[in-house]
Structure 1
Amino acid sequence: MLTSELLHPTILRALANCGHGDKILITDGNYPLDSDTNEKTEKIYLGLKPGLPKVTDVLATLKSQINFEKAEVMTPGPGEQPKIYEEFKEILGVDDLSKLGRQEFYDACKKADNLKLGINTGEVRTFANILLTVGVR
């Protein structure tokens, strides 16, 4: 019996297959996971209902299992940034996130041959998408 926080077998398998530099995408419920990732990406739809699970729930659980060296977010543009960014920084223990414009973010996810895992959640907050690069221990 597993004793870690993460119990989802497909996510566990995908994480085990990740190496340094591979990417993992966690998205809100609005993200077009099928069309804005590539065919090599393992796609998991966790959305149970609006708001469950939240992107931050998934991020915290993944962070308990694997290290990340970079985090990129989809930004709405100049001006006020989504409040969820502060939660991302707190969970990851970082001071800053790399910001990509909306189309730039979609393109990065489509073109990344090393995007191993895409997890779609029930998150209802907009711009709650994060692209993570797997680090070393």
Structure 2
Amino acid sequence: MLKVPCLHTGILSTLSKCGHGDKILIADGNYPLHSNTNDNVERVYLNLTTGLPLVTDVLKVIDQMIAVEKLEVMVPEGGTRPEIFEEFNAIVSSVETLDELGRYEFYEACKAENVKLAIATGEDRIYANVLLTVGVV
């Protein structure tokens, strides 16, 4: 039996193929995963029910498995900063600041060919989407 923080075979397989500069999307339950990711991305639907799992639960596990170089988030119009952004910073200590993108800019970033993994969660907080860039160990 594996003794790693993640046992999901699809996630493990895709992470093992990622290199420096590849990206991973962890999306809230409202994110249109199928229409706003590229055709070759590995889509994992973990959204069991509302609130399970949370984006932060998945982020904690992924952060233990890869080096994270950058975090990009979707910001609402009007400049309000969702509270979950502070949680992202607390979980991923290797990144000091979040790169903030508007909604449509974030959608376009998630359609890029270097986005290799997209994980849907049951997160019900809005704007709780995070795009991680794989770094170097």
TM over 0.5: yes
CA shift digits 1:64-101 (9 cap, x unpaired): 11011010000003433000000000001133100000
Matched residues, percent identical?
58
Partner secondary structure for residue 131 of structure 1 = strand
Task: Indicate whether 1:33 and 2:58 are aligned.
Answer: no
Question: Between Structure 1 and Structure 2, how many residues are aligned?
Answer: 136
Q: Per-residue CA shift, 1:35-68, capped at 9, x if unaligned?
A: 0001010000001110000000000000011011
**1:1-137 correspondence runs (5 A):** 1-93=1-93, 94-110=95-111, 112-137=112-137
* Alpha-carbon RMSD: 0.8
Moved over 6 A (4+): none
Give the whole-Å Cα distance in 2 for the aligned partners of 1:135 and 1:24. Answer: 11
1:118 Cα deviation (Å)?
0.2
Q: Could you tell me how far apart the structure 2 residues matched to 1:71 and 1:17 are?
A: 20
- Separation in structure 2 between the aligned mates of residue 16 and residue 33 of structure 1, nearest angstrom: 22
Structure 1 segments unaligned to the other structure (5+ residues): none
User: How far is 1:5 from its partner?
Assistant: 1.2
- Compute the TM-score of the two structures, normalised by the length of structure 1: 0.97
Aligned partners of 2:48 and 2:121: how far apart in 1?
8
